[in-house]
Amino acid sequence: MSEFDVAVIGGGPAGTHASLAAASTGLSVALFDDDPSAGGQFDRALRCELASSKVSTFFAHSVWAVTGAYRIDAVGPQGPVHCTSRALIVASGTTERVVPFEGWTTPGVIGLAAARILLNSQGLLPGRSTLVAGCGPLLAAVAAKTLENGGKVEAIADLAGTADWVRTLPAMAARPDLLLQALKWWRTIRRAGTPRYGRHSVVRVEPASEYLRATLAPCDASGLPLNAHRTTVLADCIVVGHGFTPATEITRLLRAEHRYSRGAGGWIAVADQDGRTSRTLLYVAGDAAGIVGAAASATCAMLTGLACAFDLGAADPSRLKRRMESLRGAQRRAVRYGHAMAALMAPSAAHADSIPPGTIVCRCEDVTRAEIDAACDAGAHDMNQLKAWTRCGMGPCQGRTCGDIAGELLMRRVGAPSREAVGYFSARMPLRPVTIEALTGDFNYDDIPIPQAAPL
């Protein structure tokens, strides 16, 4: 078994920056990432820096277990691997949130982040024509990129109103480069004549011969549809996203303390400004620590890598501290911008109320809102009881798609004072579904370690 000083899970910008920072102090670092393309969709320069560093990379490896302090088990193209480390940095990113609406499970409805992956890393338009809906800065980014590449965008439906965007301007001023980028996107969108419906939500999608028909409704500040004129849009592909939820499966599996924060995007590990969690030598970096956006992710992750090195007793601690202090200013500015953007995508408790009773909430197990409400009424007052009684969260996505929504519905149905009061689905191994043969490898019957037989 290989031993490392630091293991980093998640090879996006945050995980990469944390790995490089830790390795720069002389520590041995292992970086795990499950992306099969092993190239990511970002920053080639950063990838080159990683390739020429001493970081041991395990690309296309899916980490399915973290135990002890710490043993990492993963499955890669050649089968199971495991290693141990003294410290663990979790840079697992986020899951996109989509608040269910009628017809959201129809093929051809995809996430906003999914559309970005199609455009950036797959070189594909989402559709011959596209509706872009939801909230946050990704709306304009996806719409503009689609238009730039010759696609048609039928409309943009934004939950936010103009006033919401104006409120972000002071924070945007701290990042004039990003403000300029946004203005360029909107110029592209206006030139194409794509209409923008502010304070509008998609309430239904249905097939319409080879297209999809989306119904847009005006909504209030929380995303609740109003009793007002509906607009229909025909498009080949419906792209929708309502913000991002930090991926906390690993930190919850390791029993670090967590709290619920709407501004941060949901449940996050309780951590200091350098990502130290309540558990010794366990850190969070990047959006997994709370939505801060790409720029802040990078700076914060560098600080986490250095903090980890400091905690492990790296050589020349005072020089390390000075390096960290030199990053604080950039961290503050980037985080300010990131928080403003996160506020635009923050989940509203009331938005879940818009889900009609017959609409699927748990896609894996076909559990509707009505079934969830009935279980709450029957006495399920916490997430794990809800899961046991309805199967919501028992499918292969392991609650990633439905968990946040289910928590919102449960809290409201039972009149709980907070999301903390109803909890979250217990984090379990495997962290991702993994085939039995990938876990068992090659073996003979005699290889199986048999404990003593049970008494008669």
Q: Which of residues 88-107 bind other proteins (CB under 8 A)?
A: 95-96, 105-107
The single residue among 52, 123, 166, 193 that binds other proteins, judged by CB under 8 A, is 123
The single residue among 124, 180, 208, 234 that binds other proteins, judged by CB under 8 A, is 124
Work out how close the CB of 436 gets to other proteins at its nearest, in angstroms, rounded to a whole number.
5
Per-residue x/- track, 27-66, other proteins (CB under 8 A): -------x-xx---------------------------x-
Cβ within 8 Å of residue 395, ≥6 positions away: 362, 363, 364, 365
Q: Which stretch binds other proteins (CB under 8 A): 192-200, 273-281, 302-310, 378-386?
A: 378-386
Q: Is position 15 an interface residue for other proteins (rule: CB under 8 A)?
A: no
Work out how close the CB of 415 gets to other proteins at its nearest, in angstroms, rounded to a whole number.
15
Q: Which two tokens stand for residue 340?
A: 């403003």
Residues 239-278 that bind other proteins (CB under 8 A): 255
Q: Quote the CA–CA distance of 245 and 165 in Å, as a whole number.
A: 21
Give me the sign of the Cα torsion angle 202, 206, 208, 211: positive
Q: Which two tokens stand for residue 352?
A: 């879940």
CA separation (Å) from 147 to 112, 313, 411? 15, 51, 41
Q: Is position 150 an interface residue for other proteins (rule: CB under 8 A)?
A: yes
Cβ contacts of 374-380, under 8 Å, gap ≥ 24: 376/409, 376/410, 376/413, 376/414, 377/413, 380/410
The single residue among 109, 139, 269, 289 that binds other proteins, judged by CB under 8 A, is 109
The single residue among 87, 375, 411, 422 that binds other proteins, judged by CB under 8 A, is 375
β partners of residue 220: none
Q: Is position 381 an interface residue for other proteins (rule: CB under 8 A)?
A: yes
Q: Which stretch binds other proteins (CB under 8 A): 125-133, 162-170, 195-203, 314-322?
A: 125-133
Q: Quote the CA–CA distance of 322 and 313 in Å, as a whole number.
A: 15
Residues 434-453 that bind other proteins (CB under 8 A): 434-437, 439-441, 443, 445, 447-453
Work out how close the CB of 46 gets to other proteins at its nearest, in angstroms, rounded to a whole number.
16
Q: Quote the CA–CA distance of 324 and 327 in Å, as a whole number.
A: 5
